[in-house]
Amino acid sequence: MLTSGRDRIVDYIHHPVAAANIIEDFGGNEETIAAAYLHDTIEDTAVTYEYIKDNFNERIADMVHAVTKPPKIKGLSRSQRFVDEVKRLVKVSDIQALAIKLADIIDNTSTVVNGDKAFSAVSLAGKILTVNLVFRDSAEFDSHFLGLLDEAKLVLFASVDKLEGTHKDDHASAIKSLGDALLQDPDIKKPITPAQMEARNSNDIKRCSFCGNSILGFSENKTVYGKKWNFVDCPACGCRGPFGLTAQQGIDSWNSAERNFK
C-alpha cells in the first residue's frame, strides 16, 4: 500500500515503522510500540477500533483511537479544522498516546521537509503551534518520555531553518493565520496576567514563539543538522522551545501590542 503527499509517495509501512522505532528508542513499552505501528490504521484504512481491540487489546485500541483524527467536515476552513484538532488533542490525557503523536510528527516532518517546500512551510507552522500548545505543561510527560518532546521541537525548528526565500514568508504567514485562529478561540485562549503583559511589551527580542512572552532563561543546547540550538523555558505558557542561535524562527513573529501574530 502507498501513501501520497505533495510531491512524495512512499510505502505506507515506512511511516508506522519509523514511529514505532522512535517510541522504542525513547523507552516506550510493548503496547505503546504496537499502537505506534497501528496509529494510522483507523484513520487511513478500513480497520476499526473494535478490530484492534479484538485482535490486540483494549489498551492498544484506546491509544490508536486517541491519535486518530475524526472524518473531515465539509465546509470547514483549513484553519478551523486545525483549531478543532488542537482542541481535541489538548483533551487527550493519555501520555503514551501523546508520545505516539510526537513520534508521528517527528517522522512526518522529516518526510514533508524533503517534499514540496510551499506545502512544508504551512505544514511546519501547524506542527509547531500544535506541539507548543498541546505539550505546554510537559513535566509529567517528560517524566515518562524524557527527551522526546525536545527531539520533536528540535526537528521542527531545524526543518523550518531549511526553508528559503518566499517559503520563509509562507511559513510566517501560516504562523500568523493559524496562530490567530487558535488565540481567537474561546476554548484555547489563555489568561494574561499583568506581569506577562509587561514582559510582552519589554524590549527583549527573545520571545516565546506561541504566547509572545519574553524568555529570560537558557538551559541545555544540542547539535542537530549541524547547528547548535538552545532550549528555553517560557515562564508564561510553559512551552519549551528550541531557538537556533542563528535562526530564531518564530521569535519575532508576535505582535505584543495587539496580542496576535505579525
User: What 3-state DSSP class applies to 261?
Assistant: strand
How far does the chain reach from its first CA to its final CA, in angstroms?
42
- Regarding predicted confidence, which is higher, 28 or 141? 28
Q: What is the pLDDT of residue 213?
A: 46
| Total number of domains in the chain | 1
Residue 219's pLDDT band, with cuts at 50, 70 and 90, is very low
Q: What is the pLDDT of residue 75?
A: 86
Q: What is the pLDDT of residue 158?
A: 78
pLDDT tens digits, one per residue of 37-68 = 999 999 999 999 999 999 999 999 999 999 99
C-alpha distances in Å from residue 123, one per residue of 101, 155, 221: 15, 13, 25
Can you tell me the mean pLDDT for 112-124?
Answer: 84
CATH of the domain at 40: 1.10.3210.10
Structural domain of residue 93, as residue ranges?
A: 2-191
pLDDT tens digits, one per residue of 152-207 = 887 887 788 788 888 888 887 887 788 778 777 877 755 444 444 444 444 444 55
- The DSSP result for 127-165, as a single string, is HHHHHHHHTSS-HHHHHHSTTHHHHHHHHHHHHHHT--T
Q: Indicate the average pLDDT of the chain.
A: 75
Q: Would residue 199 count as lying in a domain?
A: no
